[in-house]
Amino acid sequence: MRILVVDDDRNVAETVRRMLVTEGWVVDVEHDGRAGLEKATTEHFDVVILDIMMPALNGYEVVRQLRRDGVWTPVLMLTAKDGEYDQADAFDFGADDYLTKPFSFVVLIARLRALVRRGAPERPVVLTAGSLSVDPTSHVAKRGDTELTLAPREFGMLEFLMRHKGEVVTKTEILQSVWDINYRGDENVVEVYVSYLRRRIDTPFGCKSIETIRGVGYRLAADGGG
């Protein structure tokens, strides 16, 4: 088994390397995100072990670019960042597992073996509606060949609408899925974000993809609005 370790802490990287070598695995090491991304993109590995806080590119950006480039090698984030939002971000960007420092070597080995057994996942389905496309794993949205710059909430709303293209969805349904089931704020925030989204995905392209259904909610045209 071949492992790539990407960590700017040379002591940690060397400790992990030596531990894995004793298990009979082949281990490559890089110390910054950009070098790690290049190696993971151009060479074959069974698993990539990736720190988050690194020079050049952070771990989030490395895994995001790997998934965007169609590299589905399992990624285990090994990091001192132990917040729940840190973990959620890692999984949203395409990581497969998350382990915090300090860590148990026994647990690390078990996690790696589990990832190898599962193997690289198949590329998930890209949601499409006409010229609109959304890749939920790589977190990339496009209108034709143009990549769209969307804030996280805008991306979440577009993904939800794409999953229900051609259907009328209510403000309540949008709030519960894109915000939180316990959200108690003004539901008119949905109107605000629909306006934002239209300016991102429609106006620059002369399209009209999101229809307002008065008194009910919104509908994303199945053909993407042009």
* Stated pTM of the model: 0.60
pLDDT of residue 87: 86
Give pLDDT tens digits for 121-132.
666 678 899 999
Residues 28 and 4: beta-carbon distance below 8 Å: yes
pLDDT of residue 188: 84
Beta-carbon contacts of residue 40 (< 8 Å; ≥ 6 apart): 4, 6, 48, 62, 66, 71, 73
Kindly report whether the peptide bond that precedes residue 204 is cis, defined as omega within 30 degrees of 0.
Answer: no
Give pLDDT tens digits for 93-119.
888 999 988 889 999 999 999 888 877
| 209 vs 201: CA distance, rounded Å | 8
| Sheet order of strands, 168-170 included | 168-170, 217-220, 210-213
pLDDT of residue 177: 77
pLDDT of residue 69: 80
Tokens 């399209």 locate to: 207
| 69 vs 55: CA distance, rounded Å | 21
Query: Measuring CA to CA, which residue among 9, 76, 10, 64 is closest to residue 37?
Result: 64
Residues 91 and 67: beta-carbon distance below 8 Å: no
pLDDT of residue 85: 81
Kindly report whether the peptide bond that precedes residue 152 is cis, defined as omega within 30 degrees of 0.
Answer: no
| 205 vs 207: CA distance, rounded Å | 5
pLDDT of residue 70: 78
Compute φ and ψ for 80, nearest 5 degrees: -80, -10
**Residues of the chain scoring pLDDT < 50:** none
Give pLDDT tens digits for 59-70.
999 998 888 887
What letter represents residue 73's amino acid? T
The angle, 0 to 180 degrees and rounded to 10, between the axes of the packed helices 189-201 and 152-163 is 90
